[in-house]
Structure 1
């Protein structure tokens, strides 16, 4: 297709005119964005981009559309005419809702040459339209906070009618907005939302509060519901030939099989009470961890080996990954295949993949240097606003799609298309048939569904056409419910969740299907059971579970639908569980421990029910492990005080005999120790002996010892403290075990615990000392003892972090607050703004010298590993940082030294004050009517009964403390970052530095002409007259101007100084010689360069300091003797690094000691390098090539 050059030039000029305030220049950019290993370099033209791509033999990549036809494309879809609908976003990453500049375009190839030649703007004024689907007479658009339905009522391909279908989606994280609007097999419109985008949808009298979830909308009724919840930032929905849903997601595992009512592993944030989370279907990873788009490919345009697999866009990897599915009971397991496309261009960002009418895979490319939301958020002006591509991956000479319009085809023609070898036509024809809901088509579709000679794919699409049209009769449903094909049976069951027939015959048949041989059918029955009145939920779920022993998914779905029913239907549940076959079924018995916890956690339910469960498990041979698990859970609930008073007394009366029988069986019984721990809650005689013996035994496993200690402290066992004292006297204790013992001691209210810990604080390992401090801060009396030791000088002040002090001031007793004020002064709440300066200082340190990554592992274990996992080591309290928070060096610096600068809601610390005065702080795991669960430092879960919660407070700061630089020596900081900045463990030969990390060579720096020297705008002063009027030059002679390549004043040497015979004498630092630059208003700098004296200048070891004034106070950047001052270079900061607002800059020179006089002082400017202070943008290159 011919491209008019003038059109392109005019378009580019218009775009620059409109978007120039936010458009970054395309230059040699030295900034290395997150998750990239080098400078991105300039963008490629569309043709150059496809020339660099790698695809399998026989395939080629074609440009379907590119700038200026599409710009910043986010989502795409095809309609029934083969037109491509694309959403564009110039607003990204804007958070504010309201009208914007974004739009929807319709792309057409009118001459069938494979390239777009007609572009129509369908809608404008949108604000990050993140999903699009065409159907049911209009266009569905995800445009947070809304899902919109746009219509063209007059046929000009322009939206002229708008309906807000649903509203309430968040914009807290605009790269996790509602997305991936996709038509499901059942005729619903499905979509996704991310974990840090908080939503509150109010729809037709219902409230939906959620984050990461799959939702769906009925296009006919506009009903909205959550299909399932969990994962991370899912982006892309695909349905396999059986109609099962798969999504790709970021950060955690990349591929998930989603089922209605399921709750899946979350990247962050609390789970609903009693959730039994479902995991992903992969145990492998592709490149990095950012996925966008997914397509189940089923088309005869490709050879067989490239069909029936999932194609997923990998943003960081710049490629299209491939996984193939294998069945695993009612769920799936995915295995990797070689990548299908590799761009070999870091600008490539595959955000959407779709099969087209020609049967080829289409790949939508956002095309930008910034892969990560954090970069776009921090530098929205550098997001490219001029590019976007759509590619087609074609096999050999696959024919072009010929013109068609399914909307004009007859029902018979559409039904014929359901047999197409290209799934595109099957999907489109099915949707059109569902929309029409033609009564004439019903018998014809039913015949196809029942046609044994037709392929299963064709039969299912025919069935889905009927389901989407809501046109299945009870008679036909009954026929399918008894059909030998399990997929037809399962979909017939699922359909009942939409229409809820009142047919007794259907109800009876579905009850029978609870024992169906197919796991797919049983799964649908488990999902349907709580939705319809004609199914007795509890019996149906138990029947499904009984026949699903060993299935990985069905037990989770059964539990998710069963446990809410226990609040009202526990008696029925218990009756059934005591009858055959459930009383002997491993599958049904496996849920009893969870059921016991659920019943005990529900006010109003009798503890007698739990006793019944325990006795049932005790009576069944082979269920000893389940009995042990049940007793362990009950014991935990007594120790957390969820079970107290009359209910605990009742539990004793119901269980005492059963527990005695278990304990009488001896330690060989798996439930022996748990029975003892539970019985200790009412001071059982045998338990009073058994439990202390367990803790005192060095041969006992750590888990068993900790459980015993927890039981003793919770019950107030008289020997507990004495045994702990004896434990600490042993020198052979495992340090991990010591740490867990310390953490458990918070359960005690004895001041002896505080004395024990304070006496041993110095001798504790680096990993366990912080744990001891945290325990001491849990009770005001203990905190006062610690503060007394700090005040006396026996314990260093910096043992308490800023976060801990802020927490204590906000939640502790007046005595604690007063004591803190007397020791530390006023404690400011919230993030400390001076952290910006600390980050800059740490950058200077870490970039100046290499550390040892192997020693860094030790530092990591004692400091970071308490809350973070890296390369499979450490605890998962905060984010797993193997793939999070280390996108580049600047991000890592900020996250470590300024942790509260950017913090997700789910990672804010929550502090709980108990009725007994205990103060606990951690990440919120569960907040339910019966209890609050926190994940503490070190990974320990702390459960507090709701009745014991006096107050809860969410901090504005991160759980990660500020000021870790005070806890480490400079060498430890260097070692820690030598480890943190590696992509793999240091023992791995493939380990590389993350982008932006490494030692800076000051001799390789040359300032570019674009750098503005703020020193030229400053007032320069000195306390030595010779600097201003001496023979060596004037004060401003040092200042280099990159734009001109010259100095402020063209002097002979560009030097200032005093003569060699000046004999300035002994200069104290207070009376140092100074060179000072000051500004009327603060200026922001992130880069500073200075040059020292010329060679052979005497007194190379003269002392010096470089300082900046911030908020009226001089802060030291660095100090030393000799070094840069002696013919060297001083470099501080880096382009694109965090900027520090300063009021003045000064260099001081003084005697290194009280005996060494200063004879002379010289400073010299260096062409191309110094003296310079500025705020350089990330794209500024300062490294000599």
Structure 2
């Protein structure tokens, strides 16, 4: 290990996440196709003349801050910059407030991405050794990681992921490395660097969650029982790790509110929030529904410089065509690292605001979250403006974190090119070369702190030297980071001596957020009992009651009669209580819980999520509940109820195919998960991903005429489109694969998606693509739905 206050970096690069990048273009002539991101027939004529594009020189930290417009009341300060940090893509604060930073030092070392697979990425520790608020010490903990993409704190060390696997690295005294072992060898398997899991957020329910993933992870005592539907995948001397399935969500970055609900984004969807807690609708294997995320606010962005260097800036509607904002990005194209602010340094009005970086437009956007019945909505906090925007095109904010001092930390890759080679177009290559944005990217990176000017920063934590009893005090802290870290430390330490003190917070704290945190701390310690749950169910705040209802299902059957009485009483009071009653009623044994469920369906059956919640919670008790439906007139629920156990879920038709077609199918699966990376937008289960891609399962676009699917795969598709009578108004454009996949590869891919997830359609031959490639050779743009309706 190396401790250094001044360190010269010489081998750096950067990340991507469907980012789009940087710019000037010297010619107005159409560009000849030659890069992997090119799509045959696309006219890549530059939309902005070279002389109209301002320069993009490397700026010093002081110059970079001067280039930014920041909303009144805020001030931006640099806490770390090169040579102390380079190509940062993720950070985590440890119990002492030190910054653990993942540096993707070999991402796109040049425009061809040569040697990016070299093991030269770093996990480093950044410290403020003298307490002046600035980082002055860097410790290189690991320097041999291939494209590190996430880092998280865990008992005994850290969890981190490279481009394939999730690891545990033990941290010994003096920041030395102890054991380093693979926790999950398939954590980031398949796909390319832009379409892999990331996050490892330690959430309220004591599980780690990721985006671009349907897996969740939990650290447990070596003697603890493995939860239902989970499996143990790793153990060391400190703990064992279990993994379970959860909802597939998001793209890059993940955060949570005080109630355990997750927030994330897609590249063109700046903020998405899930009204239900993760996994709520996955309890019933006979009929599972995804928890659809709600969009928070619009997709519009308001840069303060022109953005002709986004990867597909030549496409219509990507950039504003005329007027005073000509050449500026119109909508998000590279949303990343969304953060729901839960700090205490900003004014109270900012608590719970969703912040999203847009590195392609060099800005950070802010959206207020509004909760209504079953829905999370919101609007821009600064209409037709942004929280922070820069004229420096190399300003690439990719992640945000609520900090221990209550401020908002900004992770800035400070990198010219952030589009991966698999998607880089000749258009962007030419712009990057003309502007020199492909140069000097191997030693740059900044971490900023955004704070409210009139408020003092919070103190630096020193939790590693504290006792579990002292950690309990932090469960009542006004800053969400302190509550989360205290709960994680208590739960992963497993010291049951603190249970009485935690119960006191549940009883005595005036802050409902602290009471909720105390509840889930007791859950993590395995210390729930009937008295604790009754205290929660009797709380004056509905959010505490919601957690109490959810956790009541953890109690033994002997307590269920009492819980049934509470469900009958709480269900009619408010919608948010009714949803949670519906989710647990089937798990609470006895007739009272089923009566509570029927009551909820009668009162709220037409409200969002109620029917789905009831089906999810009923797992295994459907026949018992059927007797309650004799005088029930909610036809939608009855229709859903009757589908339990009868719906095809992710069913493959491969065994019904001839042997040589099975070979095609299997090759197509490899392309779907790898070279074509279709799963990044449509999901591994083919059910689609909100605001990214519509479902392929039971889609007429997939199982209909093979020529239609072939044309879409060759040339791409622009929305809006209708799938299964549902309208999809996606701002993303599906690019064609004519330049990237051969006719045989496209035929294999088609055969796979037409015969998976319950689809049973004919295979597709190479000849179909050979013929259509010639017929569509002159087409300049992706298809639209109208092209197939005339």
Same fold (TM over 0.5): yes
1:576 equivalent to 2:628? Answer yes
Query: How many Å separate the matches in 2 of 1:87 and 1:146?
Result: 15
Give the corresponding residue for 2:689.
Answer: none
1:884 equivalent to 2:744? Answer no
Query: How many Å separate the matches in 2 of 1:575 and 1:304?
Result: 50
- The verdict on how the C-alpha distance between 1:404 and 1:530 changes in structure 2, with shifts beyond 3 A counting, is same
Q: CA deviation at 1:174?
A: 1.6
Q: CA deviation at 1:108?
A: 0.3
Deviations 1:139-193 (A, max 9, x none): 111334322221123x021222123333323231222222111111222222222
Q: Report if the CA contact (8 A) 2:475-2:518 is conserved.
A: yes
Q: How does 1:163-202 map to 2 (within 5 A)?
A: 163-169=181-187, 170-193=189-212
Query: How many Å separate the matches in 2 of 1:543 and 1:434?
Result: 36
Match of 1:54, SS? strand
Q: How does 1:876-915 map to 2 (within 5 A)?
A: 883-885=731-733, 895=736, 898=739, 900=741, 908-910=749-751
Give the corresponding residue for 1:151.
Answer: 170
Q: CA deviation at 1:535?
A: 9.4
Q: Report if the CA contact (8 A) 1:97-1:144 is conserved.
A: no
Query: How many Å separate the matches in 1 of 2:718 and 2:519?
Result: 47
Query: How many Å separate the matches in 1 of 2:629 and 2:477?
Result: 50
1:407 equivalent to 2:464? Answer yes
Q: Report if the CA contact (8 A) 2:247-2:290 is conserved.
A: no
Query: How many Å separate the matches in 1 of 2:461 and 2:92?
Result: 16
Structure 1: 5+ residue stretches without partners: 18-25, 210-218, 265-270, 604-746, 748-769, 779-799, 808-829, 832-863, 887-891, 912-922, 933-943, 981-1185
Q: Report if the CA contact (8 A) 1:310-1:324 is conserved.
A: yes
Q: Report if the CA contact (8 A) 2:476-2:514 is conserved.
A: yes
- The verdict on how the C-alpha distance between 1:401 and 1:29 changes in structure 2, with shifts beyond 3 A counting, is farther
Q: CA deviation at 1:392?
A: 0.8
Q: CA deviation at 1:964?
A: 4.4
- The verdict on how the C-alpha distance between 1:965 and 1:542 changes in structure 2, with shifts beyond 3 A counting, is same
Give the corresponding residue for 2:480.
Answer: 423
Q: CA deviation at 1:107?
A: 0.3
- The verdict on how the C-alpha distance between 1:530 and 1:41 changes in structure 2, with shifts beyond 3 A counting, is farther
1:51 equivalent to 2:66? Answer yes
Query: How many Å separate the matches in 2 of 1:533 and 1:504?
Result: 9
Match of 1:222, SS? strand
Match of 1:70, SS? coil
Q: Report if the CA contact (8 A) 2:408-2:450 is conserved.
A: yes
Give the corresponding residue for 1:280.
Answer: 294
Give the corresponding residue for 1:353.
Answer: 400
Counterpart pick for 1:81 among 93, 96, 111 = 96
Q: Report if the CA contact (8 A) 1:331-1:553 is conserved.
A: no
- The verdict on how the C-alpha distance between 1:410 and 1:283 changes in structure 2, with shifts beyond 3 A counting, is closer
Query: How many Å separate the matches in 2 of 1:386 and 1:433?
Result: 39
Match of 2:69, SS? coil
Give the corresponding residue for 2:389.
Answer: 342
Counterpart pick for 2:491 among 434, 438, 444 = 434
Q: Report if the CA contact (8 A) 1:187-1:469 is conserved.
A: no
Give the corresponding residue for 2:121.
Answer: 102
Q: CA deviation at 1:116?
A: 0.9
Counterpart pick for 2:507 among 446, 450, 454 = 450
Q: Report if the CA contact (8 A) 2:99-2:125 is conserved.
A: yes
Q: Report if the CA contact (8 A) 2:199-2:210 is conserved.
A: yes
Query: How many Å separate the matches in 1 of 2:438 and 2:207?
Result: 39
Query: How many Å separate the matches in 2 of 1:301 and 1:445?
Result: 26
Give the corresponding residue for 1:318.
Answer: 362
Q: Report if the CA contact (8 A) 1:95-1:173 is conserved.
A: no
Counterpart pick for 1:246 among 242, 245, 263 = 263
Q: CA deviation at 1:460?
A: 2.3
1:394 equivalent to 2:451? Answer yes
Deviations 1:973-1018 (A, max 9, x none): 67x69x99xxxxxxxxxxxxxxxxxxxxxxxxxxxxxxxxxxxxxx
Q: Report if the CA contact (8 A) 2:339-2:356 is conserved.
A: yes
1:133 equivalent to 2:152? Answer yes
Greater helix proportion: 1
Q: Report if the CA contact (8 A) 1:95-1:174 is conserved.
A: no
Give the corresponding residue for 1:256.
Answer: 273
Relative to the length of structure 1, the TM-score reads 0.47
Q: Report if the CA contact (8 A) 1:802-1:963 is conserved.
A: no
Q: Report if the CA contact (8 A) 2:744-2:765 is conserved.
A: no
Deviations 1:1019-1045 (A, max 9, x none): xxxxxxxxxxxxxxxxxxxxxxxxxxx
Larger Rg: 1
Q: CA deviation at 1:408?
A: 2.1
- The verdict on how the C-alpha distance between 1:952 and 1:879 changes in structure 2, with shifts beyond 3 A counting, is farther
Match of 1:963, SS? helix
Query: How many Å separate the matches in 2 of 1:308 and 1:53?
Result: 24
Deviations 1:553-595 (A, max 9, x none): 3333334555x75xxx6644543311x4xx13x3xx3222334
- The verdict on how the C-alpha distance between 1:464 and 1:885 changes in structure 2, with shifts beyond 3 A counting, is same
Match of 1:558, SS? helix
Query: How many Å separate the matches in 2 of 1:481 and 1:560?
Result: 22
Q: Report if the CA contact (8 A) 1:474-1:503 is conserved.
A: no
Q: CA deviation at 1:405?
A: 0.9
Match of 2:361, SS? coil
Q: Report if the CA contact (8 A) 1:507-1:534 is conserved.
A: yes
Counterpart pick for 2:555 among 501, 515, 524 = 501
Q: Report if the CA contact (8 A) 2:273-2:376 is conserved.
A: no
C-alpha RMSD over aligned residues: 5.0
Query: How many Å separate the matches in 1 of 2:228 and 2:557?
Result: 28
Q: CA deviation at 1:957?
A: 9.4
Q: CA deviation at 1:600?
A: 6.2
Q: CA deviation at 1:965?
A: 4.3
- The verdict on how the C-alpha distance between 1:924 and 1:525 changes in structure 2, with shifts beyond 3 A counting, is farther
Give the corresponding residue for 1:329.
Answer: 373
Match of 2:544, SS? helix
Q: Report if the CA contact (8 A) 1:273-1:927 is conserved.
A: no
Give the corresponding residue for 2:636.
Answer: 590
Match of 1:291, SS? coil
Moved more, 902-911 or 468-477: 902-911
Counterpart pick for 1:481 among 523, 529, 537 = 537
Give the corresponding residue for 1:622.
Answer: none
Query: How many Å separate the matches in 1 of 2:114 and 2:561?
Result: 49
- The verdict on how the C-alpha distance between 1:207 and 1:596 changes in structure 2, with shifts beyond 3 A counting, is closer
Query: How many Å separate the matches in 2 of 1:315 and 1:30?
Result: 23
Match of 2:450, SS? strand
Q: CA deviation at 1:118?
A: 0.4
Query: How many Å separate the matches in 1 of 2:267 and 2:370?
Result: 22
1:67 equivalent to 2:50? Answer no
Q: How does 1:950-1029 map to 2 (within 5 A)?
A: 952=763, 961-965=772-776
- The verdict on how the C-alpha distance between 1:879 and 1:100 changes in structure 2, with shifts beyond 3 A counting, is farther
Q: How does 1:1030-1045 map to 2 (within 5 A)?
A: none
Match of 1:591, SS? helix
- The verdict on how the C-alpha distance between 1:254 and 1:418 changes in structure 2, with shifts beyond 3 A counting, is closer
Give the corresponding residue for 1:627.
Answer: none
Q: Report if the CA contact (8 A) 1:253-1:280 is conserved.
A: no
Q: Report if the CA contact (8 A) 1:150-1:159 is conserved.
A: yes
Deviations 1:1136-1182 (A, max 9, x none): xxxxxxxxxxxxxxxxxxxxxxxxxxxxxxxxxxxxxxxxxxxxxxx
Counterpart pick for 1:301 among 345, 356, 363 = 345
Q: How does 1:831-846 map to 2 (within 5 A)?
A: none
Query: How many Å separate the matches in 1 of 2:62 and 2:26?
Result: 25
Give the corresponding residue for 1:999.
Answer: none
Structure 2: 5+ residue stretches without partners: 14-21, 38-43, 218-224, 232-237, 302-331, 650-699, 785-790
Q: Report if the CA contact (8 A) 1:899-1:961 is conserved.
A: no
